[in-house]
Amino acid sequence: MSEGLFADLVLLNGKVVMVDAENSIAEAVAVKNGLILDVGRSEEIKKFVGPGTRVIDLEGRTVLPGFIDSHTHPPSAGTRLFAVDLRSPPAKSIGEVLRRIKERAEKTPPGKWIRVSNYNDLKLVERRHITRWELDEVAPENPVFIAKETGHLYVVNSRALEIAGITKETPDPPGGKIDRDPETGEPTGLLYETAGALIMRHIPPYTVEEVKEGLRKVFRQFVEWGITTTHDAGADATSIRAYQEMLEEGEMPIRVLLMVRRDLLDHLTGLGIRSGFGNERLKIMSVKLMADGSGAGGSAAVYQPQHRGTKGLGIMVTPPEELKRLTVRAHEAGLRVSIHAIGDRAIDAALDAIEEAQRRRPVGDMRHRIEHCSLCTPRQMERIKRLGVVPSVSIGYMWGIGDDYLENFGPERARWLHPLRSMIDRGIIAAGNSDYAVSTGNPLIQIYEAVTRKTMTGRVVYAPEGISVTEAIRIYTWNGAYIGKEEDVKGSIEPGKYADMVVLDRDILAVPPEEIKDIKVLMTIVGGEIVYERKE
């Protein structure tokens, strides 16, 4: 064999789960120039070993295609690291929450904003929201802005309300709600959905350098989890700039597809940019639109009242007619849409918008997306299949906020929460996601959830919607590639595709389901380059 055909990297003596059409299992992989050169038996692949080939003996370990998390928020996850972290656990009570905010206030100059992240009232022993007046006691000289871990609900103190000019006379903004004291009508400090923007517009934005600093930490975590591609579900101008600079500086260890925020739609159409613009590391995938609110916070748009938050039919963040207008505009410009829709009423609105776009201008294989697709009924699944829509299902919610979802929707509707079994049986190609940092970004925990349907506390959310381990692996590999319109270059270990792979510390196809969440990634390979190696 000529030296030009020798591989750069060869993995031997393993269990290579190819995730091809036949679910084939191989022993070895050869990689050259960042691509899979060949896959097969170890004795066959050894022919590609030359003087400069790096050879790794897997010693029987399992190899999977690199994980694809099809809906995350890397920039906001990274900048949350600058905020007071109220993740529960370890935060357990309102007293502990207030103590942490007081500690930050004592170190913060008067008048400077205090940002707080990962708050969840349901995980505090009191199971109620903090009020503006409690925050006033621990941070009287600083405006405080608390974001719930889902990012759809906020709590602020009186100083923040004053800066924003929010009083008892302030009307609820379109797509949002200001919580008020039932006796006095005074704002309690609790804000739903777009009402949070009344405050956020007064908070100094993070700089490009701060976003990059956060992204570096997030990327280090992603490669440790075996994530080789992610779909950023809310890219704004600052984060896009940060990604570009990191790409130029060689600091993009993984691949990122962008769902660009709706306020940039005019810019994209004005420049004539279509979905797919970019390169193998960073590209524009779609325009992100918001149909409704949060399933954990009770602001999802539904047909029957919820048991959390406003305890009603939820909030349409974008009115249905406006959702149609934006979808049609993006569609006609060659831009896919990714529509956040959690409640059944919101999913219908998203499907109505996509159907209207296709009616006006039929385009084959457009693959418009529904993000989260949480409360999805059989009637809606039939429409999804007929319209060629690809859901990015937030099965990752089961672990961190599955109990919140159960409480909010109740046991009857829980039957149709993230119904992957029903989708697969109908021939729908759905991918899985974590919505990180809303829930854990570890794909192995998410695969565990897809199989067992268990929450962090051990409750089972309608077990019959569980899927097999092989199917769960596929939704985080090939299916993730498919809904990104990249199945021709990634998602499986086949010749000609990107050499994106992970090596696991045990056989995911052989261990008991309860062990799946405990599996560790030993090595992450992106484009033939080892970007993470676990230190024993």
DSSP for 247-289 reads HHTT---SEEEEEEEGGGHHHHHHHT--TT-B-SSEEEEEEEE
Give the model's pLDDT for residue 282: 98
Residue 376 pLDDT > 90: yes
What's the token pair of residue 363?
């385009």
Task: Give the pLDDT mean for 119-146.
Answer: 93
Distance CA 493, CA 26 (A): 10
Q: Name which CATH class applies to 76-200.
A: alpha beta
Q: How far is CA 344 from the centre of its chain?
A: 20
Q: Which residue has the higher pLDDT, 447 or 122?
A: 447
Distance CA 498, CA 496 (A): 7
The helix or strand, by DSSP H or E, that contains position 381, with its residue range, turns out to be: helix 378-387
Question: If you ran DSSP here, which 8-state letter would residue 124 be given?
Answer: S
Give the model's pLDDT for residue 456: 92
How far CA 385 is from CA of 57, 365, 382, 510, 529, in Å, comes to: 43, 12, 5, 32, 38
Distance CA 375, CA 364 (A): 27
- Band (247; pLDDT cuts 50, 70, 90): very high
pTM (2 d.p.): 0.93
Measuring CA to CA, which residue among 511, 443, 427, 452 is closest to residue 480?
443
What's the token pair of residue 376?
């999805």
Average pLDDT value over all residues in the chain = 96
Residue 205 pLDDT > 60: yes
Give the model's pLDDT for residue 496: 98
Q: What are phi and psi of 129, to 5 degrees?
A: -80, 150
Residue 394 pLDDT > 90: yes
The helix or strand, by DSSP H or E, that contains position 242, with its residue range, turns out to be: helix 237-248
Residue 3 pLDDT > 80: no
Give the model's pLDDT for residue 2: 58
**Percent of the chain having pLDDT more than 90?**
93
Which of 14-28, 70-84, 270-284, 463-477 comes out lowest in average pLDDT? 70-84
Which residue type, as a one-letter code, is found at position 260?
A: V
Residue 209 pLDDT > 70: yes
Give the model's pLDDT for residue 399: 93
Write b or e for each residue in 405-424: b if 16 or more Cβ atoms lie within 10 A of its Cβ, otherwise e: bbbbbeeebbbbbbbbbbbb
Residue-range domain boundaries for the chain = 3-60, 76-200
Instruction: Tell me the Ramachandran region of residue 33: left when phi exceeds 0, alpha when psi lies from -120 to 50, beta otherwise.
Output: left
Cβ proximity of 303 and 345 under 8 Å: yes
Measuring CA to CA, which residue among 351, 344, 341 is closest to residue 318?
341
Distance CA 340, CA 156 (A): 25
Residue 1 pLDDT > 60: no
Measuring CA to CA, which residue among 88, 76, 96, 70 is closest to residue 403?
88
**Percent of the chain having pLDDT more than 70?**
99
Distance CA 431, CA 71 (A): 9
Q: Which CATH number fits domain 3-60: 2.30.40.10, 3.40.50.300, 1.20.1250.20, 3.40.47.10?
A: 2.30.40.10
How far CA 16 is from CA of 7, 41, 73, 100, 530, in Å, comes to: 17, 10, 30, 47, 17
Distance CA 512, CA 509 (A): 9
- Which residues touch 107 (CB under 8 Å, ≥6 apart)? none
Cβ proximity of 311 and 290 under 8 Å: no
Distance CA 72, CA 86 (A): 20
Which of 43-47, 66-70, 76-80 comes out lowest in average pLDDT? 76-80
What's the token pair of residue 368?
């418009």
Give the model's pLDDT for residue 309: 86
Residue 195 pLDDT > 60: yes
Q: What is the pLDDT of residues 432-469, one digit of tens each?
A: 999 999 999 999 999 999 999 999 999 999 999 999 99
Residue 336: how many CB atoms within 10 A of its CB? 25
Give the model's pLDDT for residue 87: 83
